[in-house]
Homo-oligomer: A and B are copies of this chain.
Amino acid sequence: MTLRNWGVKFMSATWGRNLKLTIFGESHGTCVGGVVDGLPPGMAFPADLIEFELQRRKPGGNLATKRKEDDSYEIISGLFEGKTTGAPLAVVFRNKDTRSDDYEEMRKKPRPSHADYVSMVKYNGFGDHRGGGRFSGRLTAFLVFAGALAKAVLSESRGIEIGSHLLKMGQVEDQPFETEISPGKLKTLRGMKMPFLKEGIEEKAAVHLEKIKKSQDSVGAIVETAAVGVPAGIGEPFFDSVESVLSSLLYSIPGVKGVDFGKGFGFADMKGSEANDSFFMNGKSIGTRTNNSGGINGGITNGMPIVFKTAFRPTPSIGKEQETIDMDSRQTARLSVVGRHDPCIAVRAIPAVEAALALALLDLQMEGEALNG
């Protein structure tokens, strides 16, 4: 056993302040799974919602990968007589339909823009490379599972609803959320395979994706997400702003390369007088006439809908031939990724994005709770 690496940390699997997530597993190992710590005792287990959310991220449609990931799971701790016990809730998703042979080539030829190369460097070649190992999107099964628990709490006890649509996917563009967003609209979006706000572009998007898939290529996308019903006062300045906490979780989702809130990057050519959201009495409560801030001021929710965008890169694993390096010979090499990959990872990642929001809100809401009660 060599310990040249002593003094180094390879530790990052736990996230959270008041709700702690610990993730484990590899794509083609025994399982993926994790531990949710901090749930109150006596909560009814929302099996149906979990099933619904897992279905949303499941591959298998004709537009997504042909892998059949088995998303059946086993709760191995923290549940008794159908209710949470207050102890850590642990869950395991066993891996089944794995074709590790597909990945032998990548062991020596790192896929461009994938984690293969950085994994070789960081873990000195000891990482489990099969199917992307722990860098695989399969690990988001746990995130979606935990997110469904958080959504159940937020929805049933607080009336908070979360939903998303594809704002942009290659050449297909949707319209952004309006200032007013209804809970019903968000529920409708959650039920759509490829959610758009504009009528009739779903088909156009399907055709676009099919074309990209046939050309053995992939495409990027922007997901826009909203939460309604969130009370004012959630979040903290320096260093736990809603933006800080949420983005730290979003950037754990494979493929995410950008996050912005409200007008976000659009603020760059706005003036203060255009950008500022004027307060007004909206019936008996305080609202703002516009929501350019995306529901957050000074890192803290202001009671308006939370609105943010998440940018996804195109799936790096593509069938088209690419240039890379053979790590043994250090010579230029050609690579065509076989395996089965989504042409646009953003589609299946939508429930993971929403899970991140639900988990971030629950984590922070626990802090903010007593304000209102």
Nearest opposing residue in chain B for A288, CB measure: B112
Contact partner of A277 among B112, B118, B320, B371, CB < 8 A? B112
A261-B260 contact, Cβ under 8 Å, with A13-B37, A368-B122? no
B9-A38 in contact (CB<8A): yes
A220-B298 contact, Cβ under 8 Å, with A77-B30, A153-B1? no
Stretch at the interface among A50-58, A65-73, A184-192, A211-219: A211-219
Complex interface: chain B residues within 8 A of A264 (CB): 257-258, 311
A182 contacts the other chain (CB 8 A): no
Contact partner of A113 among B157, B276, B314, CB < 8 A? B276
Knowing that A5-B42, A6-B365, A26-B78 are A-B contacts, what are 20 other residue pairs whose CB atoms are under 8 Å apart, sorted by A's residue number? A4-B370, A7-B8, A8-B367, A30-B77, A32-B77, A42-B123, A92-B92, A112-B276, A117-B286, A118-B300, A122-B233, A122-B300, A122-B371, A241-B252, A244-B247, A245-B248, A257-B264, A267-B314, A272-B318, A281-B332
B371-A299 in contact (CB<8A): no
Nearest opposing residue in chain B for A216, CB measure: B273
Complex A-B: 17 CB contacts under 8 Å:
A3-B40, A6-B157, A11-B367, A26-B80, A41-B126, A42-B123, A113-B277, A134-B237, A134-B238, A169-B268, A220-B268, A257-B267, A258-B259, A258-B265, A267-B312, A276-B318, A281-B330
Contact partner of A43 among B1, B241, B313, CB < 8 A? B1
A230-265, CB < 8 A from B: 232-233, 235-241, 243-245, 247-249, 251-252, 254, 256-265
Q: Which 8 A-B pairs have the closest CB atoms?
A: A115-B298, A7-B369, A258-B260, A12-B236, A11-B38, A12-B240, A218-B272, A220-B267
A369-B241 contact, Cβ under 8 Å, with A119-B298, A318-B272? no
Complex interface: chain B residues within 8 A of A265 (CB): 222, 258, 260, 265, 309, 311
A interface size (C-beta, 8 A) = 171
A257-B260 in contact (CB<8A): yes
A271-B85 in contact (CB<8A): no
Nearest opposing residue in chain B for A240, CB measure: B12
A248-B239 in contact (CB<8A): yes
A325 contacts the other chain (CB 8 A): yes
A7-55, CB < 8 A from B: 7-15, 17-26, 29-33, 35, 37-44
> What distance in Å separates the Cβ of A54 from its nearest Cβ neighbour in chain B?
18
Give Cα A252–Cα B367 distance, bound, in whole angstroms.
Answer: 18
Contact partner of A40 among B8, B115, B259, B268, CB < 8 A? B8
Complex interface: chain B residues within 8 A of A2 (CB): 42, 157
A178 contacts the other chain (CB 8 A): no
Complex interface: chain B residues within 8 A of A366 (CB): 6-9
> What distance in Å separates the Cβ of A298 from its nearest Cβ neighbour in chain B?
3
A60 contacts the other chain (CB 8 A): no
